[in-house]
Amino acid sequence: MSDLPRKTVARTARLAALPLGYAGRTAWGLGKRIGGASAESVLSDVQQRTAEQLFRTLGELKGGAMKFGQAMSIFEAALPDELAAPYREQLTKLQDSAPPMPTITVRQILARELGADWKDRLVELDPVPAAAASIGQVHKGRWHDGRQVAVKVQYPGAAEALTADLRQLARVARGLGPLVPGMDIKPLIAELQVRTVEELDYQLEAEAQRVFAAEYRDDPDVFIPDVVAAAGTVLVTEWMESSDSLAHVIREGTQEERDHYGYRFLRFMFGAPSRTGMLHADPHPGNFRLLPNADGSPGRLGVLDFGAVARLPDRELPRSLGALIRIATMEDYEQLVTALRDEGFIRERIKIDADQLRSYLGPFIEPASVEEFQFSREWMQEQFKRINDPRSDAYAAMLRLNLPPAYLLIHRTFSGGIGVLSQLEARVPFRAVLEESFPGFVG
Residue pLDDT, tens place only, 366-382: 999 999 999 999 998 88
Amino acid at residue number 299: G
Distance between CA atoms of residues 285 and 187, nearest Å? 21
Reported pTM: 0.77
DSSP-assigned states of every residue in 340-399:
HHHTTSS-TT----HHHHHHHHHHHHGGGTSSSEE--HHHHHHHHHHHT-TTSHHHHHHH
Higher pLDDT pick, 26 / 325: 325
pLDDT tens-place string over residues 9-20: 455 555 455 444
Give residue 65's pLDDT: 52
Which runs of E-coded beta strand occur in 296-346? 300-303, 309-311
Quick one: how many helices (H) and strands (E) in the chain?
19, 13
**Per-residue pLDDT at 294 exceeds 50:** yes
Backbone angles phi, psi at 391, to 5 degrees: -85, -10
CB 230 within 8 A of CB 136: no
Distance between CA atoms of residues 66 and 72, nearest Å? 10
Q: Find the mean pLDDT for residues 203-230.
A: 97
Distance between CA atoms of residues 387 and 182, nearest Å? 11
Helix (H, G, I), strand (E, B) or coil at 273: helix
What are the sequence ranges of the domains in the chain? 8-97+160-189, 103-158+197-238, 319-437
Beta strands at 148-154 and 136-143: parallel, antiparallel or unpaired:
antiparallel
Q: What's CA 388's distance to the chain center, in Å? A: 22
Q: Which of 364, 354, 340 lies closest to 414 in space, CA to CA?
A: 364
Give residue 332's pLDDT: 94
Backbone angles phi, psi at 291, to 5 degrees: -125, 80
Give residue 262's pLDDT: 98
Q: What's the CATH class of domain 103-158+197-238?
A: alpha beta
